[in-house]
Structure 1
Amino acid sequence: MLWIAGLFGVFLLGIPISFSLGATTLAGLLGMGLPLEVIVQRMFTGIDNFAFVAIPLFILAGNLMAVGGISKRITTFSEALVGHWPGGLGMVAIVASMIFAAVTGSAIAATAAIGALLISEMISKGYSRAYSASLVATAGSIGPIIPPSIPLVVYGVIVGSSIAKLFMGGVIPGLLMGFFLMVANWLISKRRGYVGREKRASAAELRQGLKDAVLALLMPVIIIGGIVGGIFTPTESAAIAVAYALLLGGLVYRELSWKKIAHAFIEAAITNGVILTVLMTASLFIWFMTVKMIPQSITQSLLQVIDTKWGALMVMNIILLIAGTFIDTTSALTIFVPLFLPLVKTFGIDLIHFGVMVAVNLTIGMCTPPLGVCLFVSCEIAGTSLREMFRDLVIMLIPLLILLLLITYVPAVVTWLPDFLGL
């Protein structure tokens, strides 16, 4: 337990997560007298998993969508669909984020792409900078819930669950997340006078918007349909997403230049490098905890004060919500999932239910200071500060917390669709 306390002490010093995990775990393993070759081998085998190939590919697909005109057409169609509602541009941001999420699985990619297209327009139409940034950041958090989902890929590898089943478990919670945010946006817009477009889009405008976006809208249908139909694996779907984005942006929309493609690849490589470094050191951390039986010790300690499944879920939720504000999603998954796994199994909590609950928890963390990466992206685009955003951000987090409680205590919200599909 002293070692765990030391690890979190290093986190609080602001040292990057990968270095914190690597250094503290290395110290513990060397203290056990293990040769360095074994340590290096464990780090390599930790990322030597075919499922992890999906992570850089989904990130790349999101980057290509952003620069290839795909996200722009999705946004234009969303505006024709819901732009006339109260808070119209806010509704557009939420709907576009949901569609974008169904291809990339990344909150940061969704926030950056949709924010770049809509935040300046929202501000020009009278929305406050703080509200525009808060809404786009929370809407972007839908990305890791609606399949495909990068956090669920990482979780599935850690616990050995079916990634396809996890993906389907995230469908209903992701749609509900979008619905709850739309209700919140509608209520706030009514109160503040954020109006939509003057008149509803005509049938001709809707047809034109659909015609322009139909190939982009087919992207999530192909990916999710292919996974459910067993045509390809979740990892293969990531490669298909990249190929589709290249063909659509380059040959159909003709908005992809070699310069844009190179930039998309470089950005994906940088992001993936950070994630893989965390996964390597985290795999070493997980192995060390297993050898020292740390998860079992923590479980025994918690069982002394928790005697029900629902109490265990509440305690884990609170810990994850707090952790998500300080630790990035990948690191939090690799640290806390192995710690909680014995407790989850003790109370017979469904692993699919638990996985989606963890993902929702940590995506809320992506919208919460001080480490809310989606906030930093939307703040930069909107030209505002976290301090100015705080009030609006708290309001927009309320529907997400309500959804988290619903998912936690009504497991069927997560498990019904995978069971119905026979996964």
Structure 2
Amino acid sequence: MTLLLFASLIVALAIGVPIAFALGLSSLVYLLFTDIPINIIPQRMFSGIDSFVLLCVPGFVLAGNLMNVGGITHRIIAFCMAVVGHIRGGLALANVGASMLFAGISGTAVAETASIGAVMIPSMVRQGYRADYAAALTASASTVGPIIPPSLPMIIAGTISGLSVSRLLIAGAIPGILLGVSLGSVAYLIARRNDHPKGPRVPFREVVRSFFGAFWAILMTLIIVVGIMSGVFTPTEASMVAVVYAIFIGFFVYRELKPRDLPRVFWDSAVTTASLMALVGFANVFAWILTTEEIPVKVAQAMLGFSSSPVVFVLLVNLLLLFVGTFMETIAALMILLPILLKVAVALGIDPIQFSVMCVLNLVVGLTTPPVGVCLFVASSISRVPLAPLTRAVLPFLGVSIAVLLLVSYVPQITLWLPGLMYK
């Protein structure tokens, strides 16, 4: 029956069924050939989304949309351009910097690719950058978003694993910054080699002016992170604070958010949240079936039978998740695989926080890998560059992302130092 489950999932994905419905359809096919009643599907779906922590998902999605419509994107880009625009390849560096700042607002890579890419890709092309390079850089830089807090994949990982969501969010800060700096370094080296353009040096007063233009957006990130770290509010409460803050800034500070914009913002946020919750629900059904078939136990036994070394296990997990990430969406893969792999990791003495961050980072890298790199498809749509040249252009950034992944995998203090400092 397990073979039937996976065969129906593969067929559904192959014919283009969205991952959430593919998980639900394969689960239904499995149940139809067993004695388990199909009403288990709504029961397991509800139990999967019946979590207080998941209430922060619509909050962060809505806050990000409000800040984006309220004029946040171009202010962040303007500030980054004022700081690094005079450096060789400054526009590319500003692209990476904007994604790192925007990460604290959106928390999702796809939202960053769409928002940053709509502005930066055309600007880079006009400045003489190749379109495939501009799109590849934008897609790669957007993967910083799901690592730097607030991060929706981290929230999902904490929910399904029972780990502290606050600790997971804080644990992603240094790996996220390290990933952003590494991508920026590659962009700089490519700029030096290809003699990419650089802009004029901006007077210091313009840098200060652009900083104050982006200050309220940066402050939002600080409020969220510091509030969670200090225990002033939970991640769910932080999302509501972010919504109130975004409405206030959009209406009264930036003054670009209008009452007529609210229905569209609320609708888009509701659609995004509904799609995420459907994915979580169906993935929980699929994961329950795997548990019923004792797949986690069999996988654990197989891995431990291959090697009991934590070093080898981490390498095997990275290879597995890099493969899975090429065709499965991040949250769905987390829902299915993290509970299975985490049990083995803990048995081998690997810290669960560090292991979970590693898994999230690994699957986020999959957002820029073919054949189902979602960020690549978004960047391709914006730049109108076919997927084949875009894939070639993304390889240097994909390589450095994997290098950061291995560093995070085998140097636990990169992940654990900050949570240890905050939660002694």
Report if the CA contact (8 A) 1:295-1:341 is conserved: no
Counterpart for residue 185 of structure 1: 187
Alignment of 1:250-399 (within 5 A): 250-399=251-400
User: What one-letter code is carried by the residue in structure 2 that aligns with 1:15?
Assistant: V
Counterpart for residue 137 of structure 1: 139
Residue 341 of structure 1: CA displacement?
2.6
Closer/same/farther in 2, CA of residues 30 and 344 from structure 1, 3 Å limit: farther
Report if the CA contact (8 A) 2:89-2:187 is conserved: yes
Residue 36 of structure 1: CA displacement?
4.0
Matched, 1:416 2:408: no
* Aligned counterparts of 1:176 and 1:326: Cα–Cα separation in 2: 26
Instruction: Name structure 2 gaps, 5 residues minimum.
Output: none
Residue 211 of structure 1: CA displacement?
2.1
Report if the CA contact (8 A) 1:59-1:109 is conserved: no
Counterpart for residue 221 of structure 1: 222
Partner of 1:80, secondary structure, is helix
User: What one-letter code is carried by the residue in structure 2 that aligns with 1:258?
Assistant: P
* Aligned counterparts of 1:380 and 1:412: Cα–Cα separation in 2: 39
Deviations 1:65-112 (A, max 9, x none): 221111221111111111111110111111111111012211111111
User: What one-letter code is carried by the residue in structure 2 that aligns with 1:170?
Assistant: G
Residue 126 of structure 1: CA displacement?
0.6
Report if the CA contact (8 A) 1:296-1:342 is conserved: no
Report if the CA contact (8 A) 1:86-1:190 is conserved: yes
Report if the CA contact (8 A) 2:105-2:150 is conserved: yes
Residue 327 of structure 1: CA displacement?
0.7
Residue 24 of structure 1: CA displacement?
2.5
Instruction: Name structure 1 gaps, 5 residues minimum.
Output: none
Alignment of 1:115-154 (within 5 A): 115-154=117-156
Deviates more, 1:166-175 or 1:277-286: 277-286
Residue 38 of structure 1: CA displacement?
4.1
User: What one-letter code is carried by the residue in structure 2 that aligns with 1:181?
Assistant: L
Deviates more, 1:381-390 or 1:136-145: 381-390
User: What one-letter code is carried by the residue in structure 1 that aligns with 2:107?
Assistant: G
Deviates more, 1:277-286 or 1:149-158: 277-286
TM-score when scaled to structure 1? 0.96
Counterpart for residue 61 of structure 2: 59
* Aligned counterparts of 2:115 and 2:16: Cα–Cα separation in 1: 28
Counterpart for residue 242 of structure 2: 241
Identity of aligned residues (%): 40
* Aligned counterparts of 2:326 and 2:39: Cα–Cα separation in 1: 35
Counterpart for residue 106 of structure 1: 108
* Aligned counterparts of 1:82 and 1:328: Cα–Cα separation in 2: 34
* Aligned counterparts of 2:149 and 2:8: Cα–Cα separation in 1: 32
Q: Aligned to 2:158, which of 156, 159, 167?
A: 156
* Aligned counterparts of 2:309 and 2:4: Cα–Cα separation in 1: 28
Report if the CA contact (8 A) 2:376-2:390 is conserved: no
| C-alpha RMSD of the superposition | 1.6
Partner of 1:304, secondary structure, is helix
Deviates more, 1:3-12 or 1:91-100: 3-12
* Aligned counterparts of 1:377 and 1:23: Cα–Cα separation in 2: 26
* Aligned counterparts of 1:280 and 1:390: Cα–Cα separation in 2: 32
